[in-house]
Homo-oligomer: A and B are copies of this chain.
Amino acid sequence: VARSVRERVPPLLTDLYQFTMAYAYWRTGRHQEPAVFELFFRDNPFGGGFSLFAGLHDCLLFLRTFRFTDEDVEFLRSVLPPATDPAFFQFLRGLDCSGVTLRSVPEGSVVFARVPLMEVSGPLAVVQLLETSLLCLVNYASLVCSNAGRFRLAAGPRRKLLEMGLRRAQGPDGGLTASRYTHVGGFDLTSNVQAGFLYGIPVAGTMAHSYVTSFSSLEEVRPQTLVARNGDPDPVDVISLTKGWLRRVCELLGGEPGKISEGELAAFLSYAIAYPQNFLPVIDSYSVGRSGLLNFCAVALALCELDYRPVGVRLDSGDLCRQSVDVRRVFRLCSEQRCVSLRFSLMLCAMFLQENEIDVVGVGTHLVTCTRQPSLGCVYKLVEVRGRPRMKISEDPEKSTVPGRKAVYRLLDAEGHPFLDLVCLAVESPPEAGVSLSCYPLMCDDSRLSVIPAQVTCLRQEVFTKGRVSRIRRPAAGFQSCDCYIWLIM
């Protein structure tokens, strides 16, 4: 694992200015000074009230394997100015993260804007060098995890959510990161087989339109028989069986046999014969109402007669919510015909806002690209050098930083629900359970607020020190409670 991370996130995967700064620090003899950086974002993504934090696991692997090879150093020698002192490259060759300590919010936590999520401390030159890679590993992972969490909130706890964005992601690794962290954010399934292979995420998928359109007649269906699930050894001619059901379905639903695509029926039948227990076709390759739904019902009812249980249909275009209601109505009609209760699921490729009968939602582009806000904008800011607080003052007031090393506490009420995240200086005494404390809400007026926490937890834990990953405690509560607010005490 370590080797593959080294290949995926080599220490050269960073901005050049990290090296020019490292040299200037080294040249002035300040490279070993103890420094503290904080990683945070300035605004909650998607105009929402929270974010999920993710990417920690990758950051830890990166820190563990951070080391320059001879080849890396030779390349740096070729791109830094010729006047660079050769002894600096010796220094780089010997660098690792044995002097670095990382304190972090746990993977998958609900977090808020302007709270320092990670604190990276260690020798100035080293912790500066880590900036871009850590941001790269946290930014997108947290963004896509938060996006997934929002889909989960919208979909409710009952529906299954399927991530299917690989083809629209930023390259292979963007796709894998999306699959991995949307799973952390509440998605059940992914279409990405490699993500299943690497991370154990359940995979799902059935057929594309090309499969349906590749068939043109029932003669292409081979074999044409299926053995019933109940154990009867005689193969049944499913072509005839399905044709019979198709006639009855057309009568029942008022379908016109002349408008039904024979190629689509052949595609459905072939798939059903290959996977009689996993029949879930895409029914909008031609026309849902005039062809796809009728063909589906005919094949599904034939499968039922052979004691198999069809899984559902996939809809891909048009008014998905309305179609889902129509399709469910047809399912009910058909199941009355058979006197069995069919529980179909409808798998759709877009989000729903109105009345619908959708059981599984597949989301691709909007999930992985985070269309509404395609970057989280985490930053990495110096807050302390040699024990002295550091601050940046900007022409854009909100880009000014809050100096000094912080502590972050999450305060819980009597029911154990978090209600406030408290940021204060590390040197200040921590809040105590049952004791009233005063604080200032972040980005509000000067109004002071008094609260009495029933319980106080440290939001961040030490997760890496002296070159090793520390034992990570599981977060107390998963992604469920988003009704806490953030306040800042200074």
CB of A258, distance to nearest CB on chain B (Å) = 15
Q: Is there a chain B Cβ closer than 8 Å to A109's Cβ?
A: no
A275 x B81 contact (CB < 8 A)? yes
Q: Of residues 9 to 33 in A, which have CB atoms within 8 Å of B's CB atoms?
A: 9-10, 12-21, 23-25, 27-30
Q: What is the CB-to-nearest-CB distance from A79 to chain B, in angstroms, rounded to a whole number?
A: 5
A381 within 8 A of B: yes
CA distance A274 to B80 in the complex (A): 11
Cβ contact within 8 Å between B16 and A140: no
Does A106 sit within 8 A of B, measured CB to CB?
no
A interface size (C-beta, 8 A): 118
Contact of B81 with A24 in the complex, beta carbons under 8 Å: no
With A132-B166, A166-B14, A392-B285 known as contacts, the answer to whether A275 contacts B20 (CB < 8 A) is yes
Q: Which of A297-305, A333-341, A364-372, A459-467 contacts B (4 or more CB under 8 A)?
A: A364-372
Q: Mark A354-370, 1 if CB is under 8 A from B, else 0.
A: 00000000000100111
Known contacts A28-B221, A274-B28, A275-B24; is-contact A140 B128 (Cβ 8 Å): no
Give the nearest-CB partner of A17 in chain B. B205
List B contacts of A441 (CB < 8 A). Answer: none
The answer to whether B206 touches A136, judged by C-beta atoms less than 8 angstroms apart, is no
Per the 8 Å Cβ criterion, residues 371-390 of A in contact with B are 371, 374-378, 380-382, 385, 388, 390
Given A29-B222, A207-B24, A375-B365, A75-B197 contact (CB < 8 Å): yes
Q: How far is the CA of A204 from the CA of B206 in the complex (A)?
A: 47
A270 near B206 (CB under 8 angstroms)?
Answer: no
For residue A271, CB closer than 8 A to chain B, the reply is yes
Cα separation A173 to B10 with both chains bound (whole Å):
11
A76: Cβ under 8 A from any B Cβ: yes
Tell me, rounded to whole Å, the shortest Cβ–Cβ distance linking A130 to chain B.
12
Closest to A35 in B: B214
Residues in chain B near residue A160, CB distance under 8 A: none
Does A131 interact with chain B (Cβ within 8 Å)?
A: yes
Contact between A168 and B13 (Cβ–Cβ < 8 Å)?
A: no
Cβ of B394 and Cβ of A15 under 8 Å apart? no
Complex: how many Å from CA A203 to CA B25? 20
What is the CA–CA distance of A381 and B213 in the complex, to the nearest angstrom? 10
A23 touches B274 (CB 8 A): yes
Q: Is the CB of B136 within 8 A of A21?
A: no
- The A131-183 residues at the B interface (CB cut-off 8 A) are 131-133, 135-137, 139-141, 144, 164, 166-178
**Beta-carbon nearest neighbor of A270 in chain B:** B28
Q: For A191, list chain B residues within 8 Å (CB).
A: 15-17
A284 at the interface (CB under 8 A from B): yes
Please determine whether B28 and A222 come into contact, CB atoms closer than 8 angstroms. yes
Number of this chain's copies in the complex: 2
Our pick among B140, B144, B222, B273 for the contact of A169 (Cβ within 8 Å) is B140
Give Cα A30 to B214, complex, Å: 10
A20 proximity list for chain B (CB < 8 A): 205-207, 271, 275, 278
Q: What sequence of 0s and 1s flags, for each residue 201-244 of chain A, a beta carbon within 8 Å of any chain B beta carbon? A: 00111111111111010001111000000000000000000000
A369, B375: Cβ atoms under 8 Å? yes
> Contact between B365 and A369 (Cβ–Cβ < 8 Å)?
no
Least Cβ distance of A230 to chain B in Å?
Answer: 15
A318 to B396, CA, bound (A): 6
What's the Cα separation between A208 and B15 when bound, in Å? 10
Chain B residues closer than 8 Å to A211, beta-carbon distance: 21, 24-25, 128
- Residue A458 at the chain B interface, CB threshold 8 Å: no
Interchain CA distance A274-B220 in the complex, whole Å: 74
CA distance A191 to B175 in the complex (A): 23
Contact A10-B377, Cβ < 8 Å, known A166-B132, A203-B79, A395-B288: no
Query: Which residues of B are found within 8 Å of A204, using beta-carbon distances?
Result: 16
Residue A490 CB within 8 A of the other chain: no
Most chain B CB inside 10 Å of its own CB: which residue of A28, A30, A131, A284: A28
- Cβ–Cβ < 8 Å partners of A79 in chain B: 193, 196, 203
Q: Kindly list 13 other residue pairs between chains A and B, CB separation below 8 angstroms, not including A12-B193, A174-B177.
A: A4-B7, A15-B205, A16-B193, A19-B193, A27-B273, A81-B275, A83-B275, A139-B168, A141-B171, A168-B377, A216-B388, A317-B395, A371-B375
**10 CB-based A-B contacts, threshold 8 Å:** A12-B194, A13-B166, A15-B205, A27-B222, A81-B277, A83-B276, A140-B174, A285-B393, A288-B395, A370-B374
**List of 9 A-B pairs having minimum Cβ-Cβ separation, nearest first:** A173-B173, A170-B174, A17-B205, A318-B395, A16-B205, A170-B170, A369-B374, A135-B167, A210-B382
